[in-house]
Amino acid sequence: FQLIADQLGSSLANVYAYEEARRRAEALIEIDRAKTAFFNNISHEFRTPLTLMLGPLEELLAGDTSAFSTKQRADLEITQRNANRLLKLVNTLLDFSRIEAKKAHAQYFPVDLANVTTDLAGSFRSAIEHAGMELEVDCRPLQETAYVDRDMWEKIVLNLLSNAFKYTLKGTISVSLREEDNKAVLRVKDTGIGIPAEELPHMFERFHRVKQSGGRSFEGTGIGLSLVKELVLLHEGTITVESEAGKGSTFTVSIPLGADHLPAAQVSMYDN
Label each residue of 74-90 as H, E or C. HHHHHHHHHHHHHHHHH
How far apart are alpha carbons 245 and 157 in whole angstroms? 23
Closest residue to ligand ADP using C-beta atoms = 220
* Beta carbon of residue 259, minimum distance to ligand ADP (angstroms, whole number): 29
In this structure, what DSSP letter does residue 267 have? B
Number of Cα atoms under 13 Å in the Cβ half of residue 146: 29
Q: Is 240 in the site for ligand ADP (CB under 6 A)?
A: no
* Beta carbon of residue 263, minimum distance to ligand ADP (angstroms, whole number): 28
Which one among 137, 195, 257, 262 touches ligand ADP, defined by CB under 6 A?
Answer: 195
Which one among 191, 192, 237, 253 touches ligand ADP, defined by CB under 6 A?
Answer: 192
Q: Is 221 in the site for ligand ADP (CB under 6 A)?
A: yes
How far apart are alpha carbons 54 and 47 in whole angstroms? 10
CA 238-242-247 angle, to 5 degrees, is 150
* Beta carbon of residue 47, minimum distance to ligand ADP (angstroms, whole number): 19
Beta bridge partners of 258: 146
Q: Which of residues 127-186 bind ligand ADP (CB under 6 A)?
A: 163-164, 167
Which one among 99, 135, 203, 231 touches ligand ADP, defined by CB under 6 A?
Answer: 203
Count residues binding ligand ADP (CB under 6 A): 19
Which one among 220, 233, 242, 261 touches ligand ADP, defined by CB under 6 A?
Answer: 220
* Beta carbon of residue 86, minimum distance to ligand ADP (angstroms, whole number): 13
In this structure, what DSSP letter does residue 198 have? G
Q: Is 117 in the site for ligand ADP (CB under 6 A)?
A: no
Q: Is 41 in the site for ligand ADP (CB under 6 A)?
A: no
Q: Is 209 in the site for ligand ADP (CB under 6 A)?
A: yes
* Beta carbon of residue 30, minimum distance to ligand ADP (angstroms, whole number): 28
- 3-state SS, residue 188: strand
Smaller CB distance to ligand ADP: residue 71 or 211? 211
Q: Is the dihedral of CA 62, 63, 64, 66 positive or negative?
A: negative
CB 231 within 8 A of CB 253: no
Measured between its terminal Cα atoms, the distance across the chain in Å is: 71
How do beta strands 134-139 and 109-110 pair? unpaired
Residues of the shown chain interacting with ligand ADP in the complex, contacts defined by CB under 6 A? 163-164, 167, 190, 192-195, 203, 208-210, 220-225, 249
